[in-house]
Amino acid sequence: MERKGTNYFISLITLIAALGGFLFGFDMAVVSGIIEPLKFQYGLSSAQEGLFVSCALLGCIVGVAFSGYLSDKIGRRKVLFISAVLFLISAVGFAFSEAYPILIFFRILAGMAVGVASNVSPLYISEVAPSQKRGKLVVFYQLAITVGVLAAYISNLFLQKYATANAGDGSGLMHWLFVENVWRGMFIVGVIPAAAFCLLLVIVPESPRWLVQYGKNVQALDILTKINGEETARLELASIKEMAGQKSGGYKELLRLPLRKLLTLAMVLTALSQFSGINGVIFYGPTILKSAGIVTSDALFYQVILGAANVLFTFIAISKVDTWGRRPLYIVGSLCAAFALALTGFCFMMNITGWFMLFSIILFLFFFAFSLGPLKFVISTEIFPTHIRGTALSMCIMTMWVSDWVVNLLFPMMRDGLGIATTFFIFSFFCILSFIYAKKKLFETKGKSLEEIEKEWNSDLNIEKDLSAKKMEVLEEIE
């Protein structure tokens, strides 16, 4: 009975925290239905189109920059609430703004919300999850992102059909919002999950590991008991307290061994994951599908198919990440994703369009969804010690958004300049680099508690210190 209660509790708070991922996916993907009508209404060039899409990513970078440090100082839960409020304000503001610069401002604000959520939501889930379930629960955050992407696609498709069916005479706010300017209606739908996120965060507890770091052991024990049961909670609290001696932490500390090695590993894997071009496929889906021979009127429908495939394939990561492990999934997935992207590029090069083209893109989503997509979050939330985890994760997530900003800024120009086939070959090349790097550097963490992983790295640090001391002794003897 106790185990059933703890499972219910951890499932509930994971679902609520994962709403940040849902909003992340929705906010990023909803732009795919907005780009074409916005280009027509404001007469945007390819460069301006890239700027509009990528300006949200600049906001993401700003959001990540302050969220990591802030979450280490005031707690994970409070920063999640900041994210929810930013989502709410940006959705309303974008929908009702007329001037193009004001639209850019609210896109940046939405990006800040996404940046905060993308950093703190997986961080929070990793810190409340039992070690034997941590992988799948953090991957659940990735699932929420894919569900958010799919929800945006379905919402865009429904609103487009609604606007077409009611394109005749009409008046009033609803007609202006969902018919005359349907792209505004596409964005304001995000108010519903944003408001739900704000309200549900009231029942979410603070991270027990953050509480222990600040000496709030009684509160931490109460939360750990709800998560693991009383006996396991006391053992886990003792382990957390043992590793919570340091309260200092900052960017300077991340440059010291062994954290520097961990940070390099996480940042490189994250950057290479994004250079696979996944967000190019998500943001510019309709234009890619049009190039693939899918007629314009059906582009959003086929994008719904891509979104559904992305959701479905993420369940593979959820089911296998804690049994097969992080390393095997990452290595196999990155190599196969490279093949799928190369196949897509070949299809464009040989003018093979239609269903086979759609199949090659879905194949890429299949491999990305159980490897490059979710595992960067799992790895980055596991390998850093508690007192610096928020700051370290913010560096990794900032890397993700900088990489995305580069991809989305350059994608229209690469598509129009180099050609879409060459663009996909470039994405494939980065997946090959990801495979090579992961095979050489990535280590396994499945089944280990966060404190056990930290102990291993502390042990390695002590070994390196001993070796350095011996080296100094040898040098002194030589002198």
**Could you write out the three-class secondary structure of 84-131?**
HHHHHHHHHHHHHCCCHHHHHHHHHHHHHHHHHHHHHHHHHHHHHCCC
Higher pLDDT, 190 or 2: 190
471/479 Cα distance (integer angstroms): 12
Domain ranges (residues) in the chain: 2-204+246-448
pLDDT at residue number 200: 93
User: pLDDT digits over 339-360, tens only?
Assistant: 999 998 888 888 877 778 778 8
Contact between 236 and 224 (Cβ < 8 Å): yes
**168: which DSSP letter?**
S
Task: Over range 218-246, report the average pLDDT.
Answer: 78
Closest CA to 14 of 198, 181, 140, 118: 140
260/464 Cα distance (integer angstroms): 13
Long-range contacts of 36-42 (CB under 8 A, 24+ apart): 36/286, 36/287, 37/182, 37/183, 38/183, 41/183, 42/100
**Triad 460, 463, 468: Cα angle to 5°:** 125
Place of tokens 């590029």: 345
Burial class for 168, CB neighbours closer than 10 Å (0-12, 13-18, 19+): exposed
Crossing angle of helices 420-441 and 259-274, rounded to 10°: 160
Contact between 220 and 240 (Cβ < 8 Å): yes
CB-based contacts of 263: which residues, under 8 Å, 6+ apart?
A: 254, 392, 395, 396
473/479 Cα distance (integer angstroms): 10
Long-range contacts of 297-300 (CB under 8 A, 24+ apart): 300/32, 300/33, 300/153, 300/156, 300/157, 300/160
- Percent of the chain topping pLDDT 70: 87
Task: Over range 139-143, report the average pLDDT.
Answer: 84
When pLDDT is cut at 50, 70 and 90, the band that residue 4 belongs to is low
How far are the Cα atoms of 6, 28, 146, 440, 454 from residue 385, in angstroms, in the given order? 25, 30, 28, 23, 6
When pLDDT is cut at 50, 70 and 90, the band that residue 468 belongs to is very low
CATH no., domain 2-204+246-448: 1.20.1250.20
Higher pLDDT, 387 or 348: 348
Whole-prediction pTM value?
Answer: 0.77
pLDDT at residue number 285: 62
443/438 Cα distance (integer angstroms): 8
pLDDT at residue number 392: 83
Contact between 150 and 314 (Cβ < 8 Å): no
Closest CA to 118 of 90, 151, 87: 87
User: pLDDT digits over 103-118, tens only?
Assistant: 889 989 998 998 898 8
Task: Over range 159-179, report the average pLDDT.
Answer: 82
pLDDT at residue number 469: 47
